[in-house]
Structure 1
Amino acid sequence: MVVGGGPAGMAGGARAAEAGLRVVLLDAAQDLGGQYYRQPGAALSPTRPEALHHDWDAYTALRGRAGGVERRGRHHVWAVERHGDEDWTVHALAGADGAQGRPVRIRARAVLLATGAYERQLPFRGWTLPGVVGAGGAQAMLKGGLVLPGRRVVVAGSGPLLLAAASSLVTAGAEVPAVIEASGYLGYARHPRALAANPHKLTEAVTHGAALLRHRVALRTRSAVTEVHGDGRVEAVTVTRLDARWRPVAGTEREIACDALAVGHGLVPAIDLAITLGCATRRTPDGTLALALDARLETSVRGVWAAGEPGGVGGAQLAMIEGELAALSIAARLGADPGRGGRVRRLRARRTRLRAFAEAMAATHAPGPGWSDWLPDATEVCRCEEVTAGRIREAVRDHGARDARTVKLFTRAGMGWCQGRTCGEAVSCLAGDDEPPAPRRPFATPVPLGALAASAPEALAGADEEPIRP
């Protein structure tokens, strides 16, 4: 069973099928590709979907290899249940709207988690105005819907995704007056070996940079959008210089007119399913939690492997390599043909190089501890429950809260629809919890009570479960 249809899941599923295993791949989207290779629906009649993608040839080759994989789109996996080292039940809801989908249970001998990542958002004044979208969200709108978030879009936050998003937007016809990077790029110079081992990464940066130069996009480093202005919709943003700790420097504010803001401060590995199973985690250089994996890409729970972003955000190329490595390990464990050992050694060497660059990237763009200084008390931090920074600070100052969980008990921050995925890091920072524990959510997606009732032990007795065997 492969959970996730992005580059890691596609590569892992294809390699496992080539090794002789029966593979079922579940993904919430209808088509393969994940967020990286998101494509517009057939109803939009796209003529050149490859125009908005980098390295499209790698995707088409991988899609061709995945012909032996049983693909099931619009399957929202909400839990994985363990019965033994080679006996698992994967619970999903099948349907376009996961919360209203049909309950599905599939038995498998091994599980490969290729669940990707989601955007990290750090709040600021006005970030709830219509027209503020995630940097990755802007790309998703463009790739999946062929629409722009606005005509004049400021791109802000931190991380290499900003350059890719800005490049895509200007290529599609948007005006991007500026890219606002809270960190800088000189930090990469502290990792010369990782840079030397990955020259293609420099080529990618030059490609995006050239597109921005052609369209006269200004690049401002050590700066952040600290406020959004508008009456019912984004009309302008305030950009402020930051010091080395990401604290705003007084007197450096300047306003940029725009009708949309695409903002994101990196990506967070999506590890909810693995955490529920008890898989061990590690802290990455940018402060996020990723799964601790061995050389075979197996988690600390025997029988569960992971590939791509769950092991630490590193991009599509690393995800594909890890997907193949995990599949070869699974094939060897289940007695299938894993192929030649030389291929494994080559894949591991490439993984080591790309993983070193991923760690350097995370360290370079890690949020500074002073970012919360740009948050006035009236700023909403938890959008779902409308909890402000002032209420969180009050919980810490007056009631002794010292972590996100205690703040949640006092304020309801993190108890909404997203279950803290959007606000969790900001709440932890305001609570002074430098290394919050892994969030344990019993369900990876919202689940109707009827689906839970159908999954109860008494309901499962004699149920028609579908086994997957090699």
Structure 2
Amino acid sequence: MRQTVVVIGGGPAGLAAADAALDRGAAVVLLESAPRLGGQFWRHPTDRSATDTSLQHNWNAFVAMADRVGSDPSATVITSAQAWAIDHDHGQGDAAFGVQAAVGSADGPSREMITVRGHALIIATGAHDRTLPFPGWDLPGVVTGGAAQAMAKAEGIAVGQRVVVAGAGPFLLPVAASLAAVGARVIGVLEASSRRQVVSGWLPQSPWLAAKAPELAGYATYLARHRIPYRTGLAVTRAHGNDSVRGITVSRIDSDWRPVPGTAEYLDVDAVCVSHGFTPRLELAIAAGCALGADRFVAVDAAQRTSVPNVFCAGEPTGIGGSDVALAEGRIAGHVAAGGAITDTQLRPAVRRRRLLRRLTGAIRDAHRIGPGWTSWLTDDTVICRCEETSYGALRSTLIATRTTGLRPAKLTTRAGLGPCQGRICGRTVEELMTDLASTDGGADQRSDGVIIDRRPIASPVRFSELTAQARVVGTHEQMDTQEEDR
């Protein structure tokens, strides 16, 4: 019987998985939450021909995969599809599971509810930026690196005229390059990790750097051509302004990320792009029952199989590694989900590249790790949860007064993480702050109730009226044939 492979996510990992599954002769249903394929990585205008490909890494690979998946009669691509739940053992024919999704504008009143059924599921939901809070980070003009790059790629718009890119990790380099390409004056890239930490993390991996050396060299050349300084051991510790950001305080920080007294300097800017790495999107993987490792990533084997039969995971939910790792993992997952084997000859290049690049991602993680001392730059009025406007002082005093040690009661008493983003921006930060408070005040573990911020019974907001709506079934050929007969 022909396999139906359902892929959630239309970025590098999801597209590679769909492409590989089609190569194996499977039917594919691809769900993408955005209006267009490409995910967070391949942002582009509606008219792809208008895209400035100099801002797009590996653009030809995207075009080839998107065109193939979009035109193959065995593939069904559904965009603007918000997957919100995953069902198991529903007894519907030979399908192993059903993905519940709402199709349409995320805040629209007339979304169509669908149930996508299949024999295998590949979760390729990617990640989102993580930004550590600091006083003034809620001012207009303070944006994540991903948001700044998305505006540059998709709209050709710079977030400001005089911009600083700050945070930690190699992602700062393409953000700065994208901003410069659309006309912004980038006055500096500020890496929080020290030069010694960066070198000690990357240098031992020099035999493996060949895979990324051309890309890194290209960014270094671009920054030099535009006279953009790259400075290490510095962090933005305050943003200044009233209706929008007008300047920032930059401080030298020690190895634990505590500001060094007497090193603060003021920079005149009208925008600051901040990224301290990425947080994997785990809601659907957890909803599917996939086990997580101690590092809070989805645990997978060599074939990208999770702990749940017929469920695979690829890309950032298995470990932050970038688009090249995601492409390799997606190809492996798609091939095996469609009935192939990890030992098949055609998978050897992907397996080899995954092994090489995953070694590098470990080095990147160590070289740009977040130090525990970052909490020392917070003030009582620093906003932690921007959706609910919960301040650090309110969070800390409430937790101490109520002796709250579990994440669920902490959310209910402080409202942190209960806003529209459902803790995707502040969740990990709240967890870390609770850990810090527990260690200083003798409290218990911050997750004593067994709750983590990524665990949500409903992965994305759904109206009550939508829950009662009749869902259209999409999936296995047997079920689709039945639908046609019913019509």
CA offset at residue 105 of structure 1? 1.3
Structure 2 counterparts to residues 213-228 of structure 1, below 5 A? 213-228=224-239
State whether residues 240 and 253 of structure 1, in contact with CA within 8 Å, keep that contact through their aligned partners in structure 2: yes
The match for 1:37 among 42, 46, 65 is 42
CA offset at residue 469 of structure 1? 4.3
State whether residues 35 and 79 of structure 2, in contact with CA within 8 Å, keep that contact through their aligned partners in structure 1: yes
Structure 2 counterparts to residues 212-361 of structure 1, below 5 A? 212-284=223-295, 289-332=296-339, 341-361=344-364
- Please state whether the residue corresponding to 2:366 is helix, strand or coil: helix
The match for 1:145 among 151, 155, 161 is 155
State whether residues 168 and 368 of structure 2, in contact with CA within 8 Å, keep that contact through their aligned partners in structure 1: yes
Structure 2 counterparts to residues 417-456 of structure 1, below 5 A? 417-432=420-435, 438=452, 439-454=454-469
State whether residues 188 and 360 of structure 1, in contact with CA within 8 Å, keep that contact through their aligned partners in structure 2: no
Would the alpha carbon gap of residues 4 and 188 (structure 1) be closer, same or farther in structure 2, given more than 3 Å must change? Answer: farther
State whether residues 34 and 81 of structure 2, in contact with CA within 8 Å, keep that contact through their aligned partners in structure 1: yes
CA distance, structure 1, for counterparts of residue 262 and residue 122 of structure 2 = 51
Is 1:83 aligned with 2:89?
yes
CA offset at residue 47 of structure 1? 3.1
CA RMSD of aligned residues (A): 2.1
CA offset at residue 63 of structure 1? 2.7
Is 1:92 aligned with 2:110?
no
CA distance, structure 2, for counterparts of residue 353 and residue 385 of structure 1 = 42
State whether residues 29 and 475 of structure 2, in contact with CA within 8 Å, keep that contact through their aligned partners in structure 1: no
CA distance, structure 2, for counterparts of residue 241 and residue 109 of structure 1 = 53
Encode CA deviations 1:441-463: one digit per residue, 9 max, x unaligned.
11221111112223xxxx6xxx7
CA distance, structure 1, for counterparts of residue 476 and residue 194 of structure 2 = 48
Higher mean displacement: 4-13 or 25-34? 25-34
State whether residues 109 and 469 of structure 1, in contact with CA within 8 Å, keep that contact through their aligned partners in structure 2: no
Partner residue, 1:466: 474
State whether residues 99 and 447 of structure 1, in contact with CA within 8 Å, keep that contact through their aligned partners in structure 2: no
User: Number of paired residues?
Assistant: 453
Encode CA deviations 1:161-199: one digit per residue, 9 max, x unaligned.
111100111122110111111114543534555441231
CA distance, structure 2, for counterparts of residue 219 and residue 352 of structure 1 = 30
Encode CA deviations 1:324-359: one digit per residue, 9 max, x unaligned.
100111122xxxx66971222332222111111112
- Please state whether the residue corresponding to 1:268 is helix, strand or coil: strand
State whether residues 178 and 219 of structure 1, in contact with CA within 8 Å, keep that contact through their aligned partners in structure 2: yes
CA distance, structure 2, for counterparts of residue 408 and residue 428 of structure 1 = 10
State whether residues 19 and 338 of structure 1, in contact with CA within 8 Å, keep that contact through their aligned partners in structure 2: no
Is 1:62 aligned with 2:65?
yes
The match for 1:136 among 146, 150, 155 is 146
- Please state whether the residue corresponding to 2:186 is helix, strand or coil: coil
State whether residues 164 and 269 of structure 2, in contact with CA within 8 Å, keep that contact through their aligned partners in structure 1: yes
CA distance, structure 2, for counterparts of residue 428 and residue 309 of structure 1 = 20
Is 1:74 aligned with 2:89?
no
CA offset at residue 73 of structure 1? 1.1
State whether residues 283 and 455 of structure 2, in contact with CA within 8 Å, keep that contact through their aligned partners in structure 1: yes
CA offset at residue 363 of structure 1? 1.9
Partner residue, 2:187: 177
CA distance, structure 2, for counterparts of residue 104 and residue 344 of structure 1 = 33
Partner residue, 2:481: none
CA offset at residue 416 of structure 1? 1.0
Amino acid at match of 1:19: R
State whether residues 112 and 307 of structure 1, in contact with CA within 8 Å, keep that contact through their aligned partners in structure 2: yes
Partner residue, 1:158: 168
Identity percentage of aligned residues: 40
Is 1:107 aligned with 2:117?
yes
State whether residues 392 and 431 of structure 1, in contact with CA within 8 Å, keep that contact through their aligned partners in structure 2: no
Higher mean displacement: 295-304 or 28-37? 28-37
Higher mean displacement: 361-370 or 424-433? 424-433
State whether residues 194 and 255 of structure 2, in contact with CA within 8 Å, keep that contact through their aligned partners in structure 1: no
The match for 1:394 among 390, 397, 404 is 397
Amino acid at match of 1:95: G
CA distance, structure 2, for counterparts of residue 354 and residue 374 of structure 1 = 34
State whether residues 328 and 354 of structure 2, in contact with CA within 8 Å, keep that contact through their aligned partners in structure 1: yes
State whether residues 44 and 51 of structure 2, in contact with CA within 8 Å, keep that contact through their aligned partners in structure 1: no
- Please state whether the residue corresponding to 2:87 is helix, strand or coil: strand
CA distance, structure 2, for counterparts of residue 49 and residue 106 of structure 1 = 35
Would the alpha carbon gap of residues 111 and 345 (structure 1) be closer, same or farther in structure 2, given more than 3 Å must change? Answer: same
Partner residue, 1:21: 26
CA distance, structure 1, for counterparts of residue 406 and residue 229 of structure 2 = 39
- Please state whether the residue corresponding to 1:281 is helix, strand or coil: coil
Amino acid at match of 2:267: I
Would the alpha carbon gap of residues 189 and 447 (structure 1) be closer, same or farther in structure 2, given more than 3 Å must change? Answer: same
* TM-score, normalised with respect to structure 1: 0.91
Amino acid at match of 2:241: G
Partner residue, 2:178: 168
